[in-house]
Amino acid sequence: MPQFDTSFFESQIFWTIVSFIILFVTLDRFVLPRIANILKKRTQLIEDEIAEAHRKREESEQLKSEYTSKLSEIDQEAKKIFDESEKRIAEKHHQMMSEWKLEMEQRKRDFLEDADVTRRQAIRDIRNQSADLVIAATEQVIHQRLNKADAQKALDESIEKLEQQKKN
C-alpha cells in the first residue's frame, strides 16, 4: 500500500497542504463571502419582518382601541337616541291622553246640555199637555170653558207650589 510507504509521506503532506491552502483561499474569497452575504440578507429580512410584525401589532392595537372607543360612543349615542325616543313617546302619550280627556269632557258637557234641553222640552210638553188636561177636566167639572192662558197660569202656580213643598 502506497499510502503507508514512508518515502511518499513528504509528497503527500506537501500536496495535502497545497490542496488545503487552495481550498481555504477559494472558500475564503468566493464561497464564504457569498454565504455570509446570504446570512446577512436573511438576518436583515428576519429583522425587517419582526419590525414589521411589531409595527402591525401596534397598529392593530391602536385600531382596536379606536374601535373600542367608537363602539363606546355608538353605544352612548344609541342609548341617548333610545332615551329621547322613550321621552317623545311618553310626551305623545300624555298629549293624546290630555286630548282624549278634553274630548270626553266636551262630550259630557254636550250630553248634559242636550239632556237639559231635552228635559226642558219634555217639561214644556208635559205642561202644555197638563194645561190641556186641566182645561178639559175643569170644563167637565165646571161645565164652562177656560181660556188657555188662565189654565197655563193656574198650572204654573201649582207647579211652583209643588217645587216649594219639595224644597222644604
Those residues with Cβ within 8 angstroms of residue 138's Cβ, 6 or more apart along the chain or in another chain: 146, 151
Q: What is the pLDDT of residues 140-168, one digit of tens each?
A: 666 556 677 777 787 778 778 777 877 76
Q: What is the mean pLDDT of residues 2-16?
A: 77
- pLDDT given at position 130: 76
Per-residue pLDDT band at 123 (split at 50, 70, 90): confident
Radius of gyration from C-alpha coordinates of the chain: 62
Q: What is the pTM of this model?
A: 0.40
98-112 burial code (b ≥16 CB/10 A, e <16): eeeeeeeeeeeeeee
- And the C-alpha cell for 110? 254636550
Parse the chain into domains and list their residue ranges: 8-167
Q: What is the pLDDT of residues 71-108, one digit of tens each?
A: 999 999 999 999 999 999 999 999 999 999 999 999 99
